[in-house]
Amino acid sequence: MAAPIPTYQTLTTVEAFRKAVNEHFAKQINEGQEYDERDIKRFNEIDEYALMFVRHAQYGKTFDEQKGFYHFNEAMTWRKQNNAYDISTDRFPSSYFDRHAVFYKNHDVNNSRVLNCIIRVFHKGQEDNEAVKRFIIYNFEEQIRSNPGQRIAILFDMRETGLGHLDYDLIKFIINSLMYHYPGLLSYMLIFKLPFILQAAWKLIKSWLPTETQNSVIFANEKTITNYIPADQLPKAMGGTRDEEL
């Protein structure tokens, strides 16, 4: 049985950070031009959502209020510009769900949801990257709507992949989204069965992360993945006990 979702000790309270944000960005909030008022309402009314920003601005024993302000402004401005609040399933054809490329399934050992990204399904240069990015946003949105404050693990299934599958643009978009547009959402990234030919590429990708976040990129194989995802939630081909694939 999975362990409970870990609780995080913060160095400031949600109430204190919320008050500071509303004072610091009073002009933007009151004018309603740069931020979506529905996002502000969620930030002010749902403690678990506001907590995500607090956690993202904390590293070790330090809480950086200015960093918190920066990420709040980045996220809220981006959300308004991209109409993130309004994204929904009816914006995508059924093929985006049927192709089984990006989807939630299973929970890790801390009971965090796992967002699976099956990289072999993608074909660099043949995708509508803007639509794929929008679909990724939808999945992030679904989590903060249904489970605000709860982090996710992202499993990159790299089996049967080559240079023609790994699109730097999409991977960089995922990383930037998690760092700047969905602060506090990511628990870690799990890279499963990375082919030798792509190892240099992933070293480059890892370098895009802030130093304090690079430890959140974990490489795993059939023997080590069960340290993160229970065997009864994984197919046999990945070191688990299930007959079915992901």
Please report, for the domain that includes residue 117, its CATH number: 3.40.525.10
Among 51, 86, 121, the domain boundary falls at: 86
**Helix residue spans in the chain (DSSP H):** 14-24, 26-31, 37-45, 47-56, 65-81, 95-98, 129-146, 168-176, 199-207
Residue 4's pLDDT band (cuts 50, 70, 90): very low
Residue 1 has pLDDT above 70, yes or no: no
Ranking 26-35, 57-66, 187-196, 207-216 by mean pLDDT, the lowest is 207-216
Q: Tell me, yes or no, whether 164 and 234 share the same domain.
A: yes
Per cent of the chain over pLDDT 70 is: 96
Domain region containing 79: 8-86
Q: Tell me, yes or no, whether 12 and 125 share the same domain.
A: no
Per the structure, the count of domains in the chain is: 2
Q: Tell me, yes or no, whether 232 and 113 share the same domain.
A: yes
Q: Tell me, yes or no, whether 45 and 106 share the same domain.
A: no
How much is the mean pLDDT over the chain?
90
| pLDDT score for 61 | 78
DSSP assignment string, 112-175: -EEEEEEGGG--TTTS-HHHHHHHHHHHHHHHHHHSTT--EEEEEE-TT--TTT--HHHHHHHH
Residue 91 has pLDDT above 70, yes or no: yes
Q: Tell me, yes or no, whether 143 and 229 share the same domain.
A: yes
Q: Which residues contact 91 (CB under 8 A, 6 or more apart)?
A: 134, 138
Residue 78 has pLDDT above 50, yes or no: yes
Residue 237 has pLDDT above 50, yes or no: yes
Bridge partners, residue 117, by sequence:
102, 156
Within a domain: residue 1?
Answer: no
Q: Tell me, yes or no, whether 175 and 206 share the same domain.
A: yes
Within a domain: residue 176?
Answer: yes
Within a domain: residue 163?
Answer: yes
Among 44, 62, 86, the domain boundary falls at: 86
Q: Which residues contact 63 (CB under 8 A, 6 or more apart)?
A: 10, 11, 12, 54, 57
Is 59 in a helix, a strand, or coil? strand
Sign of CA dihedral 234, 236, 239, 240: positive
| pLDDT score for 9 | 62
Q: Tell me, yes or no, whether 220 and 172 share the same domain.
A: yes
Residue 204 has pLDDT above 90, yes or no: no
pLDDT digits (tens, 9 = 90+) for 113-140: 999 999 999 988 888 889 999 999 999 9
Residue 240 has pLDDT above 80, yes or no: yes
Bridge partners, residue 104, by sequence:
115
Q: Tell me, yes or no, whether 164 and 109 share the same domain.
A: yes
| pLDDT score for 181 | 96
Residue 220 has pLDDT above 50, yes or no: yes
Within a domain: residue 3?
Answer: no
Ranking 7-16, 70-79, 138-147 by mean pLDDT, the lowest is 7-16
Q: How many whole angstroms from its chain centre is CA 219? A: 17
Residue 8 has pLDDT above 80, yes or no: no
Among 60, 86, 112, the domain boundary falls at: 86
User: What does each C-alpha distance from 91 to 30, 82, 88, 97 come to in angstroms?
Assistant: 30, 13, 6, 12
Within a domain: residue 126?
Answer: yes
17 phi and psi, to 5 degrees? -70, -40
Within a domain: residue 2?
Answer: no
Q: Tell me, yes or no, whether 147 and 28 share the same domain.
A: no
Residue 3's pLDDT band (cuts 50, 70, 90): very low
CA nearest neighbour of 108 among 143, 147, 152, 146: 152
Q: Tell me, yes or no, whether 102 and 76 share the same domain.
A: no
Q: Tell me, yes or no, whether 126 and 153 share the same domain.
A: yes
| pLDDT score for 12 | 86
Per cent of the chain over pLDDT 90 is: 67
Within a domain: residue 91?
Answer: no
Q: How many whole angstroms from its chain centre is CA 83? A: 18
Q: Tell me, yes or no, whether 35 and 153 share the same domain.
A: no
